Amino acid sequence: MSLPFITSAPGKVIIFGEHSAVYNEPAVAASVSSLRTYLLVSQHEDPEAVELDFPDIQFKHKWSHSEFGCILKGETNSRALEMARTNTRELSQFLVESLESLHSDLKKSLFYHAAFSFSYLYICLCPQVKGVRFSIRSTLPIGAGLGSSASVSVALALAMNRLSGAITSDRELSIEDKKLVEEWSFVGEKCILGTPSGIDNAVATHGNAVLFKREMDGTTNFEFVDDFPQIPMLLTYTKIPRSTKTLVSNVRELVSKHPNIVKPILVAMGQLATRGAEILDSLSDENYHELLELVRVNHGLLVGLGVSHPGLEAVRSLSDSLEIGSTKLTGAGGGGCALTILKKDAKQSAVKQFKDTLENEHGYALYQTQLGGIGCSILPREAISDQDLKKIRILFTEDFDSKHLDQVLLPGECTLPWIT
């Protein structure tokens, strides 16, 4: 595989079923194809180096390939690694402990999970590769509920499977290629989150909109929602930081404390997601009102799970008082983003007031973006001219405005021949 090459994956919006999805309930999500993560895999000046460069979170780390030797060498280790590569449902205890001691200097840092997830995938997928730099840039807000962690895992899983020769397609990514990316990006999400449902990385891999369900045996089951309707909606980013891992584990505590009360809430969310998907599949003037109702109920149930935040309630309450539509938190909650589905007859002046108040009085950011569209994609070296390559290298430096990433790289919009 000639270097450099680029991979990319989109963010997502969960429309129904965050948190309950972790408990094998169905959920509905769509990709946000215009908010994406890009990964540039390039040759390193040092032939022994494996470097991670994440300028968006100001994290850079370089390993010498020999540092991984203590994990890669020896017959017992080889057997344990073989297990880790074949049984992707669980993280390998051997690899978790080995990487913990290799990264003991990073243990207290905010970046531990990013380094851990990267090196877990690297050891499993392409441990022979060295003299390489992995640089990530994203136009997605980080930790905002729009699936930034999953898009990073998907971009890495696609790149590493390409480096190992497991994915070789040069015209179109096949169903098998995407299955492989979904499987390994789920491992990456596990390293960051603990117990993800897999919906975020499934949507970032396949794109479009899906009704998703993880079965009890760990397999994923999803149906694409054909012709996903372009619903009039607004995404509000509260800029309130939070961690998906913490929120998911808080809900787990609540479930184990009050199973008889909380489990029915999760089941109701699943029912709601199934009905929501039916409506989205055949959206009409008649059932539009029901869609708004379901959004309102879903938010209420999430409040019951304790994953809202006063900042999100401000968005919900403003959309209620201006009577413009229904608002729910999206993603893990606790801050991050809220999704407002607008009423068909929402007054333009009220929508404007909604946006102005959130932007000017609360300092929130509003995104108006289309849902659905392209999932993971790859741009091989052969498809990039030397002139474009020069531009692309600049985009991956720390102080470069992320808006320019879209102008040069956005799949489906730019002129570069992405393989999807």
* Catalytic residue numbers, as ranges: 200
Q: Which does 146 bind (CB under 5 to 8 A by kind): ligand MEV, ligand ATP, Mg ion, none?
A: ligand ATP
Nearest to 205 by CA among 8, 50, 390, 364: 8
**Residue 175 carries which side chain, given as an amino acid letter?**
I
Structure token pair of residue 289? 């009102």
Residue 387: Cβ within 10 Å count: 8
Closest contact distance (angstroms) between CB of 69 and ligand ATP is 26
How far is 341 from 231, CA to CA, in rounded Å? 7
**What torsion do the CA atoms of 87, 88, 89, 95 make, to the nearest 10 degrees?**
90
The secondary structure of 357-420 as a DSSP string is IIIIIS--EEE----B----EEE-GGGS-HHHHHHHHHHTSTTS-THHHHHHH-TTTSSS--B-
In the window 331-350, what residues touch ligand ATP (CB under 6 A)? 331-332, 336
Please tell me whether the peptide bond between 10 and the residue prior to it is cis, using omega within 30 degrees of 0.
no
Closest contact distance (angstroms) between CB of 262 and ligand MEV is 15
Which CB atom, from 333 or from 380, has the smaller least distance to ligand ATP?
333
The stretch near ligand MEV (CB under 6 A) out of 49-57, 63-71, 192-200, 298-306 is 192-200
158 binds ligand MEV (CB under 6 A): no
In the window 184-223, what residues touch ligand ATP (CB under 6 A)? 192-193, 200
The stretch near ligand MEV (CB under 6 A) out of 12-20, 94-102, 263-271, 275-283 is 12-20
Which CB atom, from 50 or from 332, has the smaller least distance to ligand MEV?
332
* One residue of 15, 21, 374, 410 binding ligand MEV per CB under 6 A: 21
Closest contact distance (angstroms) between CB of 93 and ligand ATP is 22
How far is 159 from 156, CA to CA, in rounded Å? 5
Reported as type and span, the H/E element at residue 157 is: helix 148-164
Cβ burial of 51 (10 Å; 0-12, 13-18, 19+) is middle
How far is 76 from 115, CA to CA, in rounded Å? 24
Site string for ligand ATP, 302-331 (x = CB under 6 A): -----------------------------x
Closest contact distance (angstroms) between CB of 335 and ligand MEV is 13
411 binds ligand ATP (CB under 6 A): no
Q: Give the CA count within 13 Å in the CB-facing half-sphere of 237.
A: 15
Cβ neighbors of 286 (< 8 A, separation 6 or more) are: none
262 binds ligand MEV (CB under 6 A): no
Which CB atom, from 81 or from 337, has the smaller least distance to ligand ATP?
337
Q: Which does 197 bind (CB under 5 to 8 A by kind): ligand ATP, ligand MEV, Mg ion, none?
A: ligand MEV
In the window 116-175, what residues touch ligand ATP (CB under 6 A)? 136, 138, 142-150, 152
Q: Which does 22 bind (CB under 5 to 8 A by kind): ligand ATP, ligand MEV, Mg ion, none?
A: ligand MEV
Residue 176: Cβ within 10 Å count: 11
Q: Which does 71 bind (CB under 5 to 8 A by kind): ligand ATP, ligand MEV, Mg ion, none?
A: none
How far is 410 from 392, CA to CA, in rounded Å? 12
Which CB atom, from 140 or from 294, has the smaller least distance to ligand ATP?
140
How far is 184 from 158, CA to CA, in rounded Å? 8
Closest contact distance (angstroms) between CB of 326 and ligand ATP is 20
Site residues (CB under 6 A) for ligand ATP? 37, 54, 56-57, 113-114, 136, 138, 142-150, 152, 192-193, 200, 243-244, 331-332, 336
